[in-house]
Chains A and B, each alone.
Chain A
Amino acid sequence: MTAATYFFAILFYAATALLVVGLIYKIADFARTPAPLLIPTTPAPTTTGGMVFRMFREVALFESLFKANLWIWIFGWMFHMGLFLVLARHLRYFTEPVWFWVALIQPFGLYAGFAMAAGLGGLWARRFLVERIRYISTPSDHLMLALLLGIAVTGLMMKFVMHTDIVAVKAFFLGLMRLEIQPLPEHPGLYIHLALVALLMIVFPISKLLHAPGIFFSPTRNQVDNPREARHIAAWASEFDGK
């Protein structure tokens, strides 16, 4: 058993703990903060079902972004859908036997890796080429794209250039899930890939990646447009009534 094996085992336990605890904390924080006034961006659905459908279109199709800017939509949607398929494809490293639908999407997940990298490349190019976006970009915006692109490229490298022993990798992760440490293959590409993934998990709850849970709590999108039919009042505001 190499030192690297222990290092990555500890790293992934720590990263998972930080990701889960951090996300639970932030989601609880979003959820318990009241929304005192109804502020859906109208025209907005007048029923809960309609609101859920609006949220679905927003999350799955990036409807508002589509209206805003076709280039950002193409690159952004390509990256996110690619990432989604790639993540689903990676479930095979954590399940035994591999779930039916995970086996089914394996070939698609492969192309999705390229889509993901291409989308990231497009988004990153905009940060240099479009003056307005260059103006608003911070160093962390560039680093975040570098991190994600690094994950995509090292992943694709292992598939197409420098293979690693994925059976051993799977044994390592299944082991971690049973609190057993199995040897991780010695492979520089794998080390970089895993280290970047762990870093992504760690920064998720303290960075702009919070847009993922954030959208579900966005009052302009998740509120139903019914202020005349139902009285909406936050706890801190209701105490004023009658005073």
Chain B
Amino acid sequence: MAGPEIKAPAFREFPTIPALQPGSMAGSQAYVASEKIQEAIGFQGKLDDDWQVTHDKAIAKMGDLLGKYRGLKVFMDSCVHCGACTDKCHYFIGTADPKNMPVARQELMRSVYRRYFTLPGKLFPSLVGAKDLTREVLDDWYTYYWQCSECRRCSVFCPYGIDTAEVTMAGRAILDTVGYGQKYSNEIIGKVHKIGNNLGLPGPALENTLEGLEEDVKDATGVDVKYPLDVHGAEVLLVTPSADFFAEPHIESLIGYGKVFHAAGISWTLSSKASEAGNFGMFIGNYDQLRKIALRIREAALELGVKRIVVGECGHAWRAAYAFWNTLTGIGAGANDPFAIELQKQLDPNYKQPSHICEVTWDLIQQGRLKFDKSANDDRIITFHDSCNVARASRMGDYAGGQFDIPRNIIKAVANNYVEMESSTIRETTFCCGGGGGVLTDELIDLRIKGALPRMEALKHVADHDGVNFMATICAICKAQFTKVLPYYGFNMRLVGGVHQLVSTAIKLGDEQ
């Protein structure tokens, strides 16, 4: 491809906050969805020729969202421009574009909100920073709402809990409504509905893949570990990101899930109908899509008659599953309405519904039902990258913060060498990989590389000082993103992998149980 070679920003000797470079990322735009992609999922195909029509539709949609989402309304009214969030976004740190400061990203929408929905903005727009919605403003929305990974790091630090992810989602929802959608995300949503997963892997291909996987595992271990598909009456339905079926290093974790179920003697199945845990409806802030995509899992669970629903290693999917599935589909507990009860009476109340695969594995470890040869991982010095949606938008286990401890506990149970990265870059203040929230697309590679800077710096530190050569994570997007950007920072792309990849390496499959 022509054009300048894309380079990673230099590591900072001290983590200073960059001086502003206005407009430095103004040219980094995601591809716009075609009419075909838009219309396939029920969105307007393209912008109206008459700007006034687009303008009116956008403002009407904004009013609609303000009436439906308390968060958005409170967040529009509450910001005082204190600046607490200004240095917290990995995209700002990596790009120095001031519109990537969380408050400035919000302000793209808030200035329009003030103009059309508040008295001072109607009377004295320039005084309060209110702006008319123009084509230029809408283009800015498109550019910068697609430079946000909805990672919520800013929401940790905001004194009012303002979550830029919610604003980004609303911005994207308005853009979709007026026919200004993003190709990458909307194309994927179309595939989920048409084929059943984000990567467009049809049922027969999935079956072949899983058969091949069984042969590979048999060759490697001599044990018949099964990777079952569409088995009625299985105890567990495993829903996992479709990248787990063939992408590296994702597939290594899928192998690990199968070994865990095999070793524990739990019957399980994948579903060709619900062969995708990811839910890009969340990224575009569209409740209807979020719900429709999640409903596939409910339907598969009802058809297969499973007792438990378990989710594989995927960050935003775990947020959708943990925080939203009960609301959207009734997968959970505690409902008193017929729609949800229909499913909940089928599910086993002794288990958390849904469960994360890490919760399952950790429970089994604690019960002594899994045995490991920890030395099998001795060639690895391991660190753990907390994925944003797991860290800041969900939970594992019984207490707040279990999402940090359980994956680490598993790693320490299956390996001897574990090192923690710098404390301000892990747990609730973890940095996004740079590719989450619907920006994992090639045309945004510059943004993705720059956005990875804070994580790469923390990794560099433990790589240099502690010899870390394996960064474990539990998110399909993190894995794909790091595989791509690690080389730009001088690391081996194979340095990233899944927690269940480590489990897979160390687990004993004999008759120990």
Contact = CB atoms under 8 A, between A and B. Distances in A.
A214 B330 contact: no
A210 B327 contact: no
14 contacts: A30-B74, A38-B324, A44-B400, A76-B159, A132-B17, A132-B101, A137-B81, A208-B80, A220-B161, A227-B327, A230-B333, A231-B334, A233-B327, A234-B68
Enumerate the 10 nearest inter-chain pairs by beta-carbon distance, A residue then B residue, closest first: A214-B78, A68-B157, A138-B129, A43-B400, A220-B161, A68-B84, A241-B339, A231-B335, A133-B83, A221-B161
Interface in A98-136: 123, 126, 130-133, 135-136
Contacts of A39: 71, 163, 166, 323, 393
B14 interface: no
A227 B332 contact: yes
B24 interface: no
A178 interface: no
B127 A143 contact: yes
Contact of B70 (A34, A64, A206): A34
Nearest to B390: A42
A136 B118 contact: no
Interface in A14-66: 26, 29-30, 33-39, 41-46, 50, 58, 62, 64-65
A176 B86 CA distance: 45
Contacts of A76: 82, 159
A30 B327 contact: no
Interface string B144-167: 000000001001111111110010
Which of the listed residues A26, A35, A76, A137 has the most CB atoms from chain B within 10 Å of its own CB? A35
Given A34-B70, A68-B84, A43 B120 contact: no
Nearest to A242: B339
B161 A218 contact: yes
A50 to B, nearest CB: 8
Interface string B79-95: 11111111110000000
Contacts of A132: 17, 20, 83, 86-87, 98, 101
Contacts of B80: 141, 208, 211
Contacts of B118: 206
Contacts of B160: 211, 214-215, 218, 221
Interface of B: 17, 19-20, 66-71, 73-75, 77-88, 98, 101, 103-104, 107, 118-120, 126-129, 152, 155-163, 166, 287, 291, 322-327, 330, 332-340, 352-354, 391-395, 398-401, 403-404, 428-429
Contact of B352 (A67, A136, A215, A228): A228
Given A67-B156, A136-B101, A231-B332, 18 more contacts: A35-B71, A36-B327, A39-B166, A41-B155, A41-B392, A43-B395, A46-B395, A69-B83, A135-B104, A139-B127, A143-B127, A206-B118, A211-B79, A220-B71, A221-B160, A231-B326, A232-B327, A242-B338
A65 to B, nearest CB: 4
Contacts of B394: 42
B339 A30 contact: no
B81 A136 contact: yes
Contacts of B166: 39
A236 interface: yes
A8 interface: no
A230 B336 CA distance: 9
Nearest to A232: B327
A140 interface: yes
Nearest to B107: A136
Contacts of A7: none
A41 B161 contact: yes
Contacts of B81: 133, 136-138, 141, 208
Given A133-B83, A218-B78, A42 B395 contact: yes
A129 to B, nearest CB: 11
A153 to B, nearest CB: 21
A58 B287 CA distance: 30
B158 A228 contact: no
B127 A228 contact: no
Contacts of A211: 77-80, 159-160
A231 B155 CA distance: 24
A228 B326 contact: yes
A217 interface: yes
Contacts of A33: 66-70, 73
A219 B282 CA distance: 17
B243 to A, nearest CB: 24
B83 A72 contact: yes
| Most chain B beta carbons < 10 A, residue from A38, A214, A221, A232 | A214
A229 B71 contact: no
A229 B127 contact: no
B163 A36 contact: no
Contact of B82 (A65, A210, A229): A65
A192 to B, nearest CB: 21
Contacts of A136: 81, 83, 86, 98, 101, 103-104, 107
A3 interface: no
A242 B429 CA distance: 39
From B79, B86, B88, B324, name the one whose CB has the most chain A CB atoms within 10 angstroms: B86
Contact of B83 (A126, A203, A242): A126
Contacts of A30: 70, 73-74
A228 B98 CA distance: 38
Nearest to A50: B400
Interface in A64-103: 64-65, 67-69, 72, 76
Contacts of A140: 120, 127-129
B362 to A, nearest CB: 16
Given A62-B159, A215-B159, A242-B339, A38 B127 contact: no
Interface in A135-180: 135-141, 143
A227 B152 contact: no
A223 to B, nearest CB: 10
A204 to B, nearest CB: 12
B327 A37 contact: yes
Nearest to A217: B74
Interface in A184-243: 203, 206-208, 210-211, 214-215, 217-221, 225, 227-234, 236-238, 240-242
B324 A241 contact: no
